[in-house]
Amino acid sequence: MNLAAAVDVTDLGVDVATEARRYAGRKVFRLLERMSIPPFVVAHRLVRAVEGNIVPDLALVVVSGWEPGVPDDLGRHADDTESRMHLIAKMQELITPTRWLSGLPNNALCQIAITTGSLGPNMHLVGGGAAVAEALGLASDMLHRGSVPAALVVAFDSEEPRVRGPNEVDSSAAGIVIVSDGAGAALNIPAVGAVRDLRAVDALSLVIGDACRSEQ
Amino acid sequence: MVTGLGAVTPCGIGVAPTWDAIVNGRSPIDRLKRFAVPSGSTLPAGVVPGFERELPPSSLALRFAEVALDEAFADAGLANDDCIDLVVVGHHGERRAPIHGMPTVVSTASDLCENVRHRARATRGLAIFGACAAGGLAIGAGVEAIKSSRADVVVCLGVDAMLNDFDYFQFAHLYAMSTRDCEPSEASCPFDVRRDGFVLSEGAACVVLEAADAAARRNARPRAALHGVGISQSAYDMIASPPDALGPARAMAVAVADARLNPDDIGYVNAHGTSTRDNDWCETLAIRRVFGNAADRLLVSSTKSVTGHLMAAAGTLELVITVRALEQCVAPPTINYVEPDPHCDLYYVPNEARQHPLRYAMSNSFGFGGHNTSLVVGRLTK
């Protein structure tokens, strides 16, 4: 397997939001919170590196250790029935459908698919380096069996550990396009044990760095 | 090969009571009593028996997962020293409203996956977030690992406990759940013109998948053969089904091709059939696109008419049900089917199960975010 293209964490500039606006219409951009913007931009840069006619069929796998929590701005309430009813009303006022949807872990993957027209096999994996190793294994399997012409694997993580809200902090993101043959550095899938303790984005960044070094 | 099955559902603890309720059309859906809801809110819900009255501070999802896992292991005849290569879990996470003194994040998908991996003594674990398609995606990932020889034995588990005082109200706010004025057990009516949304349920289902030679080596008793997997993206909207149904149709077509079958080899489809206006119409169109004239001879049913929608557990549960359907050559019914929708014009096994020779069946799961999965399962002939 070869890396046809890669975008590492350090390749993203400062103003990724402006770049994201270019790829997303208004309907999509309003669903892109700070957490989803970097992986969205990484994916779009990578899609532009492949032949346009294979985009609908490529596999899309996104990996992240980030999972949403309950927003802090709900506050804390006593547990009598009246207070609970007030809390429910406040939840529904604050957490609009748009806010709830944009906070789903698979939001970035879905907006990538919607804006690129990628219809192929797709999964959002939750986890760190071990999940990245599994993602690369899955992608390679599909390529090896000829199920897809290429596979896009993107990883992103919150800049601060255990942050739950999708709009509280930025994320870091990296991504690669894998093909079964052609030009590009050879892909080395790391052993699960070697990357288990890494964040997903750091594990994928390691894979990119390893490929670049082997190509030199 | 499918060698083990396990389930915890509103119908009961175990595959046997679940299948019995489904095939006999006995819905366990009742009014939600677990926490107070504002007047006018959605009321019907599918609660696992024994947990009707309380929402514990600890994880319900983990409890469900452990019971389903243990049953699947026992069914597969797996011993303590049998090697499990991979556990794949579909789960949304489990939260609570910020009531004073209670934790708000009770379980994350990665935490639950790690707990299940540890209990299964598996070498590796993988957590998938795929909304209502997560269970089907978990099975798809498991099949992929076995086909490529990255694993011999994979445990696939879907579990969700979203009938909590946070997630429940988020779904209500999407206006995706049924608010129809009727008996709770009648609220889920897939493909019926009166349908107005899904009934939220909870539970877990587990399947053990093994490479054929691995199962033979330990003299396992396979229950069914998983012949094909199709996974696609609708790439249309986070919630709405695509009006052309191409995404779901693509998943089904890929699954049939992966199984090296023709569409008319499929005798029964366990539909995603959520009882929403959008999904049921779209799925009908997708089935017609894939099966063509053969669609008129298909038996199609939604067992969510009995169980409600178990979210991430739906895909794994419906594979369990499809395996049972193949074993017994019985297509389970779509209950509450009273007023046909002219836009949903397939044969939905209305209200009573139907005995029918079945060789191959399909199980569909479609999720928020455009995820589509379709599985083709075959009956094992003795």
Average pLDDT score over residue span A84-109? 81
Note the pLDDT of residue B382: 60
Q: What is the DSSP string of B112-178?
A: HHHHHHHHHTEEEEEEE--GGGHHHHHHHHHHHHHHTTS-SEEEEEEEE---STTHHHHHHHTT-B-
Cα–Cα distances (Å) from B278 to A151, A191, B301, in that order, read 30, 43, 17
Q: Where does B239-352 have alpha helices with state H?
A: 246-258, 277-291, 304-307, 314-328
The pLDDT assigned to B52 comes to: 87
Q: Distance from CA of residue B3 to its chain's centroid?
A: 18
Check if B309 is active-site. yes
Give the position of tokens 């034995």: B153
Q: Which of B38, B100, B237 sits opposite A78 (nearest CB)?
A: B100
List B208's β-bridge partners, or say none.
B4, B155
Query: What is the pTM for the complete model shown?
Result: 0.96
Which one of A79, A88, A122 has the shortest CB-CB distance to B231?
A122
Contact B365, B318 (CB under 8 A): yes
Query: How far apart, in whole angstroms, are the C-alpha atoms of residue B359 and residue B317?
Result: 20
Length of chain A: 216
The whole-number average pLDDT for the span B208-215 is 96
Phi-psi label, residue B260: left if phi above 0, alpha if psi -120 to 50, beta otherwise = left
Residue A138 predicted with pLDDT over 90: yes
- DSSP character for A172? E
Residue B289, pLDDT > 90, answer: yes
Report which of residues A188 and B12 the model is more confident about: B12
What phi, psi does B246 have (nearest 5°)?
A: -70, -35
Give me the mean pLDDT over the B264-285 stretch.
97
Active-site annotation holds for B91:
no
Task: Count CA atoms closer than 13 A to A122's CA, side-chain side.
Answer: 37
What does R_g of chain B's alpha carbons equal in angstroms?
Answer: 19
Alpha carbons within 13 A on the beta-carbon side of B105: 17
Do the Cβ atoms of A164 and A67 come closer than 8 Å? yes
B11 catalytic? Reply is no
pLDDT at B229: 97
Q: What is the pLDDT of residue A166?
A: 72
CB contact set of B76 (below 8 Å; sequence gap of 6+): B3, B4, B208, B210, B220
Handedness of CA B252, B253, B256, B258 (dihedral sign): negative
Using an 8 Å CB-CB cutoff, list chain B residues near A68.
Answer: 93
- Integer CA distances (angstroms), B194 to A68, B190, B272, B366, in order: 35, 9, 17, 21
Give A-chain residues touching B248 at CB under 8 angstroms.
Answer: none
User: What's residue A192's pLDDT?
Assistant: 83
CA dist A105 and B131 (Å) reads 10
CB contact under 8 A, A144 and B165: no
* Under 8 Å between Cβ of A159 and A169: yes
Q: Is A46 helix (H, G, I), strand (E, B) or coil?
A: helix
| Better-scored residue on pLDDT, B164 or B48 | B48
B40 CB-near residues (< 8 Å, 6+ apart): B179
Asked whether the beta carbons of B36 and B24 are under 8 A apart, the reply is: no
Record: contact A119-B368, CB cut-off 8 A: no
What confidence score (pLDDT) does residue A74 get?
63
With H, G, I as helix, E, B as strand and everything else as coil, classify residue A82: helix
Vertex A176: Cα angle to A171 and A178 (nearest 5): 155
Interface contact flag, A67 B169, Cβ < 8 Å: no
Q: Any idea which of A45-49, A127-131, B105-109 has the lowest mean pLDDT? A: B105-109
| Among A116, A134, A156, A196, the residue to mutate for chain B (most B Cβ within 10 A) | A134
Per DSSP, B377 falls in state E
Whether the pLDDT of residue B155 is over 80: the answer is: yes
d(CA B47, CA B31): 9
Interface touch A124/B130, C-beta < 8 Å:
yes
> Of A130, A149, A137, A116, whose CA–CA distance to A194 is shortest?
A130
The β-bridge partners of B99 are A77
- Here the tokens at position A117 are 């027209």
C-alpha distances in angstroms, A178 versus A139, B141, B221, B248?
A: 8, 18, 38, 25
Read off the pLDDT of residues B88-120 as tens digits, 9 standing for 90 and up. 999 999 988 877 566 788 889 999 999 999 999
The pLDDT of B275-292, averaged and rounded, is: 97
Beta bridge partners of B122: B84
CA of B361 vs chain A CAs: smallest distance (Å): 21
C-alpha distance from residue B166 to each of A71, B318, B331 (Å): 11, 26, 36
If you count residue pairs, one on A and one on B, with CB atoms under 8 Å apart, how many are there?
Answer: 165
**pLDDT of residue B249 exceeding 90:** yes
Place A161 in a pLDDT band, splitting at 50, 70 and 90.
low
Q: What distance in Å separates the CA atoms of residue B359 and residue B378, rounded to the nearest whole number? A: 6
Mean pLDDT across B181-200 = 96
Q: With CB atoms and an 8 Å threshold, state whether A164 touches B169.
A: no
As a whole number, mean pLDDT of residues B317-338 equals: 98
**What is the H or E stretch that residue A176 is in?**
strand A171-179
Q: Residue A93: which pLDDT band, with cuts at 50, 70 and 90?
A: confident
Give residue B69's identity as a one-letter amino acid code: L
Q: Kindly report the average pLDDT of chain A as a whole number.
A: 88
As a whole number, mean pLDDT of residues B252-256 equals 98
- Please report the ipTM that was assigned to this predicted complex: 0.95
Mark yes or no for CB contact B126/A137 under 8 Å: no
CB within 8 A of A98, min separation 6: which ones? A30, A31
Closest residue in chain A to residue B111, using alpha carbons only = A127
Which positions in chain B touch A190 (Cβ < 8 Å)?
none
C-alpha distances (whole Å) from A136 to each of A149, B113, B122, B207, B258 are 15, 19, 20, 24, 21
Q: Which two tokens stand for residue B129?
A: 């977030």
Predicted pLDDT at B187: 97
CB B196 within 8 A of CB B102: no
Please give the pLDDT value at position A80.
67
**Which is nearest to B346 in space by CA: B266, B284, B264?**
B284
Dist. CA B173–CA B228, nearest whole Å: 37
- Per-residue pLDDT, averaged over A61-68, amounts to 93
Angstrom distances, CA of residue A184 to CA of A4, A49, A178, A215: 5, 12, 9, 8
The whole-angstrom separation of Cα B81 and Cα B121 is: 9
The two tokens of residue B224 are: 């069914």
What is the predicted pLDDT for the residue at B353?
98
State how far the Cα of A14 lies from the Cα of A5, in Å rounded to an integer. Answer: 21
Q: Are strands B44-45 and B30-31 parallel, antiparallel or unpaired?
A: antiparallel
Of A104, A131, A138, the CB nearest to B144: A138
The more confident residue out of B206 and A193 is B206
Catalytic residue among B91, B92, B309, B371: B309
Between CA B58 and CA A23 the distance in angstroms is 43
pLDDT band at A63 (very low <50, low <70, confident <90, very high): very high
